[in-house]
Structure 1
Amino acid sequence: MAGFHEVRFPLRLALGASGGPVRRTDIVNLSNGREQRNQRWRDSRRSYDAGSGIRSTTDLYEVLEFFEARAGQLYGFRFRDPLDWKSCAPGGVVSAMDQILGAGDGATAAFELLKTYADFAGSWARRISKPVAGSVLVAVAGASKPAGSFAVDAVTGVLTFASGHVPPAGAVITAGFEFDVPVRFDIDRIDVSLAHFEAGRIPTIPLTEILP
């Protein structure tokens, strides 16, 4: 990913952030009173505001330093979504059986990490491009794979099986993992307000997801 720094926005500040997925839909009102809906974006795009996590001048300076090091909007970075940061539900424990990545054909060694959001009426598979290094667990046909039988690129989210461990035809590949969201600042200006001694705030710190 061009223009990206593999660093994470300060975690303690991210925990106070607000935001989530954004979709873009065109709604056309027809002459008969009905409406037609057209999906403009195939995938959702996360948007956050980290301003609410600022509590002290130490926090202010940490954000300013991080902002300057990224040159404003120029370089992307990792961000921990305070709610959605692992392959299972927020209160669950990551398991190698959490998410289906695909099925083997006996030759393909590389698979993208995916997280699927679904109910009985529909589903959407999200590509995970920024897994947390060392957090990925993998299983093939329900059997956990040991360390050394696969490698995960923490920069791209691609899982690659080692020679001799390529999934056989029809075998279902599953995985569990923690992950960050690739984002950038959505402003080129930070407005700082010193409310009183040793306290302050930045009214808004908008962040927007960079799609892989």
Structure 2
Amino acid sequence: MAFHHVRFPLDIALGARGGPERRTDVVTLAGGGEQRNGREQRNGRWAQSRRRYNAGYGVKSRADMQAVLAFFEERRGRLHGFLWRDGIDYSSGGKAPTPIDQAIGTGDGTRTGFQLTKTYGAAFDPYVRMIAKPVTGSVLVAVDGVEVTTGWSVDVTTGIVGFAEAPEEGAEVTAGFLFDVPVRFDTDRLDIEWSNFDAAEAPSIPLVEILP
């Protein structure tokens, strides 16, 4: 298997449905007296959320279905991963990134590599998500609130920002960016129904996020 650094057709992706999934075990207590009956114990089995999408909702025409068919065949079904644009969640802080959107680390005088991340929530229990597929040319970086335009680069296959010289100890490193989600097809079969000459119905084209 391999990862193909190519994006699923954007106009189809923006009409799709999907979002994050988590796995939680919920046990309803039945013993221990009346005070415990009906209470729950919950255990989160996944440390990271995993996104799932259905691209079938974005298929509006025969041309769309032909584009999906070609993309599916080139990926060999579930074999190879690819890039997916989440129409709701694709930016570090808003539609237009700024270099102070997300804190990605603190300098210690020797560290030169910083992983792009996006934080969801505030002080109560924030979730930090690794961003491995930033969009080429979209990444902005700042050190202690001052934008840095030279002396660093980003690997768009891993999301790691590398500095030529390590930021000073205690310096806050921040970044802004657009990003895609690494996914694969979650089926080896396309079940296509031709409804008329210029339209097709694709009940389900499931995709699942490839976690780092």
Equivalent runs, 1:9-28 vs 2, <5 Å: 9-28=8-27
In the other structure, the counterpart of 1:203 is 203
Alignment of 1:151 with 2:153, yes or no, is yes
In the other structure, the counterpart of 1:98 is 101
Q: Percent identity?
A: 53
Equivalent runs, 1:135-174 vs 2, <5 Å: 135-147=138-150, 149-162=151-164, 165-174=165-174
In the other structure, the counterpart of 1:46 is 51
After superposition, the C-alpha distances for 1:63-102 in whole angstroms (9 at most, x for unaligned) are 000000000000000000010001013xx42100000001
Tell me the amino acid that sits aligned with residue 142 of structure 2.
A
Alignment of 1:126 with 2:129, yes or no, is yes
- Within 2, Cα distance between the matches of 1:51 and 1:113? 30
How many residues are paired up?
A: 206
After superposition, the C-alpha distances for 1:92-148 in whole angstroms (9 at most, x for unaligned) are 42100000001000000001000000134220000000000111000001110013x
Q: Return the index of the structure with the highest Cα Rg.
A: 2
In the other structure, the counterpart of 2:69 is 64
SS in 1 for 2:69: helix
Alignment of 1:83 with 2:82, yes or no, is no
Q: TM-score, normalised by structure 2?
A: 0.95
- Within 1, Cα distance between the matches of 2:123 and 2:169? 28
- Within 1, Cα distance between the matches of 2:182 and 2:135? 12
Gaps of 5+ in 1: none
- Within 2, Cα distance between the matches of 1:86 and 1:204? 27
SS in 2 for 1:62: helix
Alpha-carbon shift at residue 8 of structure 1 (Å): 0.5
**Structure 1 residue ranges (4+ consecutive) displaced by more than 6 angstroms after TM superposition:** none
SS in 2 for 1:87: coil
SS in 2 for 1:27: strand
- Within 2, Cα distance between the matches of 1:185 and 1:120? 36
- Within 2, Cα distance between the matches of 1:65 and 1:156? 27
Tell me the amino acid that sits aligned with residue 84 of structure 1.
D
SS in 2 for 1:144: strand
Tell me the amino acid that sits aligned with residue 158 of structure 2.
T
SS in 2 for 1:63: helix
Aligned Cα RMSD in Å?
1.0
- Within 2, Cα distance between the matches of 1:55 and 1:128? 30
Gaps of 5+ in 2: 31-35
